[in-house]
């Protein structure tokens, strides 16, 4: 059964933002509050694109807020990141309204949304937003070079140009490849970040860059948990590998639930 969601207009320091709020049938106690950033190659602007992942997060016992964010077609970096940070700050002050006063904050995202989630974790560290407790990255787009072995092998030729165009529009003319928030895969300072959960699949084009980022996080002292799902999965509502989704959803919901519970454990707890 899919989680129920309501449509809400959120007020942030950046203005109003339309969002879906998902709640599953059974919540953890207290329920994590997750800012979920949908995929779409940086230029997709529909919150419905993230319904599969948001539903899986809610099935894991979280309250999930999945907002629209500015499309890179008209608003290159850092517009989407600034919107996400404003949303996270608003959620921090409104935890009791959406979940519980003791709820922990997490950020999650798939593909392009995973890029923004990773950038947001970097920004939260640098802005001393200590309420953020974890980042969940699903096949994140982290490296604009698009040159890894998994990308060359598993990205359909019909999608290569659209992904390249999405990166170009997101990066714009000012940021290039150098800004760590825009291209986290090129970031040289990863210490001090919140724990990360990185999930990809065997036949995912972004598998290699996700694994490389996870390994660099580990070397920087960041707690990291990685999972590679069998075969291929599609995070979007339509696309390849839909037949794998029911089993993958159950697997990743269990992984999400464990990650949330581990984040709530006190240091040194057995």
d(CA 99, CA 207): 33
pLDDT given for residue 180 in this prediction: 93
Residue 182 reports pLDDT greater than 80? yes
User: Tokens for 159?
Assistant: 């999608």
| Cα–Cα nearest to 71, from 113, 12, 107, 120 | 113
Tally of helices (H runs) and strands (E runs) in the chain: 8, 8
Is the Cβ–Cβ distance between 118 and 206 less than 8 Å?
no
Angle at the Cα of 19 (from 13 to 22), degrees rounded to 5? 130
pLDDT given for residue 132 in this prediction: 97
d(CA 69, CA 39): 11
pLDDT given for residue 245 in this prediction: 80
Residue 268 reports pLDDT greater than 50? no
d(CA 31, CA 119): 24
Give me the mean pLDDT over the 239-248 stretch: 70
Neighbours of 66 (CB within 10 A): 28
CATH class of 4-262: alpha beta
Q: How many CA atoms lie within 13 A of 162 on its CB side?
A: 11
Lowest mean pLDDT among 157-166, 176-185, 215-224: 176-185
Give me the mean pLDDT over the 167-188 stretch: 85
User: Tokens for 181?
Assistant: 């928030």
User: The tokens 């697997």 sit on which residue?
Assistant: 251
Is the Cβ–Cβ distance between 45 and 68 less than 8 Å?
yes
Neighbours of 231 (CB within 10 A): 13
Residue 55 reports pLDDT greater than 70? yes
73, with CB counted inside 10 A (0-12, 13-18, 19+), is middle
Binned at pLDDT 50, 70 and 90, residue 3 comes out as confident
**pLDDT tens digit string along 34-46?**
999 999 899 976 8
pLDDT given for residue 239 in this prediction: 57
**pLDDT tens digit string along 118-141?**
999 999 999 999 999 999 999 999
241, with CB counted inside 10 A (0-12, 13-18, 19+), is middle
């Amino acid at each position: 059964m899919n989680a129920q969601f309501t449509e809400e207009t959120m007020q942030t320091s950046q203005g109003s933002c339309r969002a879906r709020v998902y709640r599953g049938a059974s919540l953890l106690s207290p329920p994590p509050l997750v800012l979920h950033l949908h995929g779409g190659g940086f230029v997709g602007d529909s919150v419905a694109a993230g319904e599969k992942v948001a539903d899986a997060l809610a099935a894991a016992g979280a309250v999930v807020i999945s907002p629209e964010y500015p499309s890179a077609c008209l608003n290159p970096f850092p517009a989407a990141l600034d919107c996400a940070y404003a949303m996270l700050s608003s959620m921090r002050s409104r935890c009791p309204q959406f979940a519980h006063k003791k709820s922990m904050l997490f950020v999650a995202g798939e593909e392009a949304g995973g890029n923004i989630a990773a950038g947001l974790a970097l920004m939260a560290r640098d802005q001393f937003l200590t309420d953020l407790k974890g980042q969940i990255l699903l096949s994140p787009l982290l490296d604009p070079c698009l040159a890894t072995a998994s990308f060359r092998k598993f990205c359909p030729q019909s999608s290569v140009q659209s992904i390249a165009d999405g990166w170009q529009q997101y990066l714009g003319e000012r940021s290039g490849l150098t800004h760590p928030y825009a291209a986290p895969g090129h970031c040289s300072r990863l210490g001090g970040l919140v724990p990360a959960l990185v999930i990809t699949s065997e036949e995912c084009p972004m598998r290699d860059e996700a694994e490389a980022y996870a390994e660099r996080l580990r070397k920087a002292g960041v707690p990291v948990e990685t999972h590679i799902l069998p075969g291929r999965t599609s995070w979007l509502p339509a696309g390849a590998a839909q037949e794998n989704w029911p089993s993958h959803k159950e697997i990743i919901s269990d992984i999400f639930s464990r990650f949330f519970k581990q984040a709530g454990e006190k240091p040194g707890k057995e």
